[in-house]
Amino acid sequence: MADNEIPSCPPPDPNPARPKLVAPRGVIDCHAHVFGPESKYPYSPARGYTPPDASLETYLAVLDVLAIERAVLTQPSVYGTDNSAMLDAMARHPGRILGVAAVDAGVTEGELADLDAKGVRGVRVNLADKGGNPSTA
């Protein structure tokens, strides 16, 4: 599929508003993505959509508006099993941001141990989305 055939998706809200309901202390956002910049973190040519940049700084601003202290980033399918963007974001805020990585069937115990040491606490098995985890089971 050519890049011009891959649908795009809307960007994050540039002006999130504080909700009337206040999040309880200790709440965790358990599924979010960061994207880009594409020049540094190229998307998989097999992806099913093309997201606009959604930086870590933008995401942290949303967390601050919502008064959420911690988060879990989930590897988006547009990167396939290249977890670089997510791992780099996690490394900038160790302890505040953990992750769910995408791996392929050939992942080794050593690679899993390395991901664990970097704050990854789960793996994503994506059987439906193009560009996602190449698992077949």
pLDDT tens digits along 31-46: 999 999 999 999 988 8
Sequence-separated (6 or more) residues with CB below 8 Å from residue 99: 72, 73, 74, 75, 83, 86, 87, 90, 115, 118, 119, 120, 121
Q: Is the pLDDT of residue 133 over 70?
A: no
pLDDT tens digits along 1-24: 455 678 888 888 888 899 999 889
pLDDT tens digits along 67-124: 999 999 999 999 999 999 999 999 999 989 999 999 988 899 999 999 999 999 999 8
Q: Where in the chain are the domains?
A: 28-124
Comparing 35-39, 46-50, 51-55, the range with the smallest average pLDDT is 46-50
Average model confidence (pLDDT) for the chain? 89
CATH code, residues 28-124: 3.20.20.140
